[in-house]
């Protein structure tokens, strides 16, 4: 998509959290690997975990450990606890506060649509001082990404048409959900997803980071 195709500002921008606004990959990798070793005595490599990044933790754990069965709730809580214990590994990505500030100045609604748990979201918001008009976390929806429920719920609550919304995410599941929701799917390469993977997920436009997106969107 060229810059000329951006005729107007969106009425809302929906942001993913992990890998989009914050660099939390090291902490999540650590949590899943610790869970795998402590509960199942197995080692997981990064690529296996990356395959499922962007989904709800419950869905990732079910995919990684198909035999978890009735222990799924305990495993999810254990993983989340391990993640929060290693939150010192999490960093704010360049452009995060700037894009939220400028969007607010231009009367663009900023929403957070994440597969992360409410507790994890609260920790990140408190640590980095982030503010949103609405937040939809993993527990707020029935079916996680790539299902569009997260993004459609946000549009409904903001009373904004889906085609007036941008979605910015780092995972293929963000792009897939955005396309299904009828929203502009904007990929940023600040997570574990490659440009080719973004293209295969039919991202409308792809940027190296939020700062590059801001230049394209004239949010400066």
Please report, for the chain, the start and end positions of each structural domain, with discontinuous segments joined by +: 3-24+92-216, 25-89
In this structure, what token pair is assigned to residue 31?
């949590």
Q: How far is CA 47 from its chain centroid? A: 18
Residue 83 three-state SS: helix
Map tokens 């998509």 to a residue.
Answer: 1
Phi, psi (rounded to 5 degrees) for 113:
-120, 95
In this predicted structure, the answer to whether residue 184 has a pLDDT above a threshold of 60 is yes
Question: Average pLDDT, stretch 37-48?
Answer: 93
Residue 60 three-state SS: helix
pTM of the model: 0.89
Is 11 within 8 Å of 165 (Cβ atoms)? yes
In this predicted structure, the answer to whether residue 108 has a pLDDT above a threshold of 60 is yes
Map tokens 């929203």 to a residue.
Answer: 183
Strand arrangement of the beta sheet that strand 109-113 belongs to: 134-136, 109-113, 12-15, 165-169, 184-188, 205-207
DSSP one-letter code for 93: P
What CATH class does 3-24+92-216 carry?
alpha beta
pLDDT tens-digit readout, 3-38 = 444 567 899 999 999 999 999 999 999 999 999 999
Map tokens 């490659």 to a residue.
Answer: 194
DSSP string for residues in 131-198: --SEEE-GGG-SS-TTSTHHHHHHHHHHT--GGGEEEEESSHHHHHHHHHHT-EEEEESSSS--HHHH
Q: Please, which pLDDT band fits residue 1 given cuts at 50, 70 and 90?
A: very low
| CA pair distance 21, 168, nearest whole angstrom | 9
Question: Average pLDDT, stretch 64-75?
Answer: 89
Triad 155, 100, 181: Cα angle to 5°: 25
Is 20 within 8 Å of 213 (Cβ atoms)? no
Q: List residues bridging with 13 in a β-sheet.
A: 110, 166
């Amino acid at each position: 998509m060229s810059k000329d195709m951006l005729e107007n500002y969106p009425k809302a921008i929906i942001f993913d959290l992990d890998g989009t606004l914050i660099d939390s990959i090291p902490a999540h990798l650590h949590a899943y690997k610790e869970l795998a070793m402590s509960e199942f005595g197995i080692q997981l490599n990064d690529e296996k975990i990356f395959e499922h990044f962007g989904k709800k933790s419950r869905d990732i754990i079910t995919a990684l450990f198909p035999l978890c069965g009735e222990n799924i709730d305990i495993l999810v809580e254990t993983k989340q606890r391990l993640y929060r214990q290693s939150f010192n590994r999490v960093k704010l990505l360049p452009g995060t506060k700037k894009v939220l500030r400028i969007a607010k100045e231009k009367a663009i609604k900023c929403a957070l649509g994440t597969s992360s748990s409410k507790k994890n979201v609260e920790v990140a918001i408190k640590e980095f001082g982030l503010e949103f008009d609405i937040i939809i976390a993993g527990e707020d929806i029935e079916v996680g990404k790539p299902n569009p429920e997260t993004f459609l719920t946000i549009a409904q609550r903001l009373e904004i048409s889906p085609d007036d919304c941008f979605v910015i995410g780092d995972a293929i599941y963000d792009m897939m959900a955005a396309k299904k929701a009828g929203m502009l799917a904007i990929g940023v390469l600040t997570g574990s997803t490659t440009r080719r993977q973004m293209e295969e997920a039919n991202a409308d436009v792809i940027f190296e980071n939020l700062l590059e997106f801001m230049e394209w969107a004239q949010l400066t």
